Chain A
Amino acid sequence: MSDAVLSVEGLSVDFAVGGSIIHAVRDVSLSVAQGEVLGLVGESGSGKSVTMLSVVRLLDARRTAITARAMSVDGHSILDLRPRALEDVRGPVVSYIFQDPLTALNPLLTVGRQISEGMRRHKGLSRTAARARALDLLRRVGIPAPELRINQLPHQLSGGMRQRVMIAMALAVEPKLLIADEPTTALDVTVQAEIVRLVQSIQREQGMAMVWVTHDLALLARLADRVVVMYAGRIVEDALAEALYDAPAHPYTAGLLASTSRIDDPFSEQEPIPGAPPDPRVVHPGCSFAPRCSRAQARCQGEVPALEIKADGRRVACFYPLTGSQT
């Protein structure tokens, strides 16, 4: 794992909510190599965002207990860092793009000032040099009339433009790892397509590692090299994108794929997954997916399947995985 930019081993995150404890993330291990795009997919409450927020230590420490055997970004052991050292990691080592740019941007500072801030702090650029580069970046992310926009405040921009500003901010410091947490979920589909293309081309050009967090398996099909699927706080499958879409091994992955709308085949009958995701307050002794799973047997009710490496290199947490030969 020496070439891994991000390496997480045995991460668990617990929240204290109203007197009870919620196990939001349980025993998650994953890694992302230099230049690799990892898609992290799951429904609401699956723990995908919490996993990534742990990586940048942005969870409220008073209400969260994070434990991990090891967690490092570009060689920095995240859990051991003091606040000051953490600030030097956030930005130049790992940048984060949030879903809602309106809450992530400072409403009182101009776009140019916010993009420049990281470059001045981490790269030691002068005010004028940082501004010139901010202008370049705005142009690069496809903002029309950047000379005008650089002096504007976030509320003067459309949602798509704000997200472009967030991307420019994240890229300004040339991070080793970019975490994009549902950055297009609030955007319209035609704008989403353009943003995905944009981030993808910059990622390839700079060769940085990227984690794209989403609830939408469709979005990752042409974007991710590898896809990790989470359900109820655990990883259930981790496979190369093509292998995962062509032949999902975990019944949940297969069910999610079957539920996802297909613009290239919209008229064929689709079969939904029965039931609903589990209540995170209720701890299930066996596999969390067993109550909704058509393949579940007695063993699944009482025992949690371990995430095992299969012959083709994929990891699957299931006692009775699909053999992977279905269409």
Chain B
Amino acid sequence: MSAPPIIKAMGLTVEFRGRRSLFKPESVVQAVSNVDLTIEQGETLAVVGESGCGKSTLGRALLRSTPIAHGRVEFKGRDITRLSGRALRDARSQFQMIFQDPYASLNPKMSIYETLAEPLLVHGATDRASIRPQVLDMLSAAGLDPSFAERYPHEFSGGQRQRVAIARAAILRPDFIVCDEPLSALDVSLQLQILKLFTALKQQFSLTYLFISHDLARVFGFADRIAVMYLGKIVEIGTAADLYRAPAHPYTRALIAAAPSPNPHRDIPPAAATLRGDIPSPANPPKGCRFHTRCPQVMDVCKTREPTMSDLGNGQRAACHLLTQPPMAG
């Protein structure tokens, strides 16, 4: 691994500003707050968390699709934080994004062929004769019959549309694909099919994914590493196996305990792992550790001081005071 990582983020912060009015001062929401992250070539990093945790915003910021307030993003060792105009567009030919809703992300007036040919044309395919075989090959790789090429999105089911969206993203052989909840709009029986397609394409084209999901159970068997986010912060990151066998942050443990399983014999999760109450508003996150209002193991220090990341070995890191100053034994 001497090559630089595909993506490296340092102190990445994204802010949204609420509108100032006569009655309200300007409010600033830190959707992503001081995030450090690296993604190696060929890796799948899943970002997991509940609504408002900033996982989608993080994905967009890495692709420079949303303004970055502080920190920097490197793509293959090159700082892209301040790129603009043509340089930014060139960099973006190496990035792709797949969205949650395949009904909204495909242009209804473009045939499947046009949908897949467009990225090739935009990013400078000069040999028009080579486009058609590329499109047809990509359709078969995505599990679609090449004879579908002349059809339009409305003729397809949700699962097939998501295959089209994936084919469109993969056709440029991008270095990095952000997948933003690509399974959430699909029925259970189709989710697994699409997940298998992601795995197959990754192997075929050696892709690198950032896979955003709210479904921790789904990503354990799919991702190499998992980052757990809560209110704009990464609270824990590590390999899927380490996070499953030895989750270090109480929030990671709570997510595992809360996920249902089709097994009536499964043990009832211990009370120490279950959460009470709703997620606080990201506009006004709690002081100290942002998780302390819901944490079953909250200590006094958590209410005033923000925890820093502890290194737990094998690349596993978590931000929790329990790891640096455990409560009194007894």
Of the candidates B262, B276, B279, the one whose C-beta lies within 8 Å of that of A245 is: B262
- Most chain A beta carbons < 10 A, residue from B244, B254, B258: B258
Bound CA span A280–B123, Å: 40
* CB pair B274 A193 closer than 8 Å: yes
Interface string of A217-241 (1 = CB under 8 A from B): 1110110000000000000000001
**Is A242 interfacial (CB 8 A cutoff)?**
yes
Report 7 cross-chain contacts, Cβ distance below 8 Å, ordered by A residue: A43-B188, A188-B279, A190-B254, A193-B275, A218-B261, A263-B217, A273-B193
* CB pair A266 B187 closer than 8 Å: no
* CB pair B264 A189 closer than 8 Å: no
**Is A276 interfacial (CB 8 A cutoff)?**
yes
Bound CA span A270–B196, Å: 10
**Is A277 interfacial (CB 8 A cutoff)?**
yes
* CB pair B264 A221 closer than 8 Å: yes
* CB pair A259 B259 closer than 8 Å: no
**Is A297 interfacial (CB 8 A cutoff)?**
no
- CB within 8 Å of B: which A173-223 residues: 188-194, 215-219, 221-222
Q: Which 7 A-B pairs have the closest CB atoms?
A: A266-B220, A272-B192, A188-B50, A261-B217, A193-B258, A218-B260, A263-B217
- Most chain B beta carbons < 10 A, residue from A194, A245, A263, A264: A263
| Residue ID in chain A nearest B48 by CB atoms | A189
With contacts A158-B278, A266-B220 known, is A190 near B50, CB below 8 A?
yes
With contacts A241-B264, A264-B261, A272-B193 known, is A189 near B278, CB below 8 A?
no
**Is A124 interfacial (CB 8 A cutoff)?**
no
Q: Find chain A residues with CB under 8 A from B196 CB.
A: 272
**Is B191 interfacial (CB 8 A cutoff)?**
yes
* CB pair A245 B263 closer than 8 Å: yes
Q: How close is A281's CB to chain B, nearest CB, in angstroms?
A: 12
**Is B257 interfacial (CB 8 A cutoff)?**
yes
* CB pair A194 B188 closer than 8 Å: no
- CB within 8 Å of B: which A126-166 residues: 142, 144, 158-161
Bound CA span A263–B48, Å: 14
Q: Find chain B residues with CB under 8 A from A191 CB.
A: 50, 278-279
Bound CA span A274–B257, Å: 30
Q: How close is B204's CB to chain A, nearest CB, in angstroms?
A: 18
| Residue ID in chain A nearest B241 by CB atoms | A267
Of the candidates A194, A263, A267, the one whose C-beta lies within 8 Å of that of B275 is: A194
- CB within 8 Å of A: which B98-122 residues: none
* CB pair B216 A263 closer than 8 Å: yes
* CB pair B264 A259 closer than 8 Å: no
Bound CA span A44–B276, Å: 30
- CB within 8 Å of A: which B2-54 residues: 50-51
Q: Find chain B residues with CB under 8 A from A267 CB.
A: 220-221, 240-241, 244
Instruction: Give B residues with C-beta under 8 Å from A.
Output: 50-51, 157, 159-160, 187-193, 196, 214-218, 220-221, 240-241, 244, 254-266, 268, 274-279, 294
Dominant SS among interface residues on chain A: loop
Contacts A43-B189, A245-B264, A272-B196 supplied; 11 other A-B pairs, CB < 8 Å: A44-B187, A144-B277, A159-B51, A161-B278, A188-B50, A189-B50, A189-B215, A190-B254, A218-B217, A222-B268, A263-B220
Q: How close is B267's CB to chain A, nearest CB, in angstroms?
A: 9
Interface string of A234-256 (1 = CB under 8 A from B): 00000001100110000000011
Q: How close is B295's CB to chain A, nearest CB, in angstroms?
A: 12
* CB pair B214 A188 closer than 8 Å: yes
* CB pair A259 B216 closer than 8 Å: no
| Residue ID in chain B nearest A270 by CB atoms | B192
* CB pair A43 B261 closer than 8 Å: no
* CB pair A276 B217 closer than 8 Å: no
Bound CA span A268–B294, Å: 32
Bound CA span A216–B274, Å: 20
**Is A37 interfacial (CB 8 A cutoff)?**
no
Bound CA span A161–B278, Å: 8
* CB pair A259 B276 closer than 8 Å: no
Q: Find chain A residues with CB under 8 A from B189 CB.
A: 43, 255-256, 259, 272-273, 277
Bound CA span A25–B59, Å: 41
Q: How close is A223's CB to chain B, nearest CB, in angstroms?
A: 9
With contacts A189-B50, A221-B266, A276-B159 known, is A262 near B277, CB below 8 A?
no
* CB pair B262 A217 closer than 8 Å: yes
* CB pair A43 B217 closer than 8 Å: no
Q: Find chain A residues with CB under 8 A from B259 CB.
A: 189, 218, 261, 263
Q: Find chain A residues with CB under 8 A from B255 CB.
A: 189-190
Of the candidates A158, A192, A256, A264, the one whose C-beta lies within 8 Å of that of B266 is: A264
Of the candidates A160, A222, A259, A273, the one whose C-beta lies within 8 Å of that of B278 is: A160
With contacts A190-B50, A276-B160 known, is A263 near B261, CB below 8 A?
yes
Q: Find chain B residues with CB under 8 A from A219 CB.
A: 260
**Is A13 interfacial (CB 8 A cutoff)?**
no
Q: Find chain B residues with CB under 8 A from A161 CB.
A: 278
**Is A257 interfacial (CB 8 A cutoff)?**
yes
* CB pair B187 A277 closer than 8 Å: yes
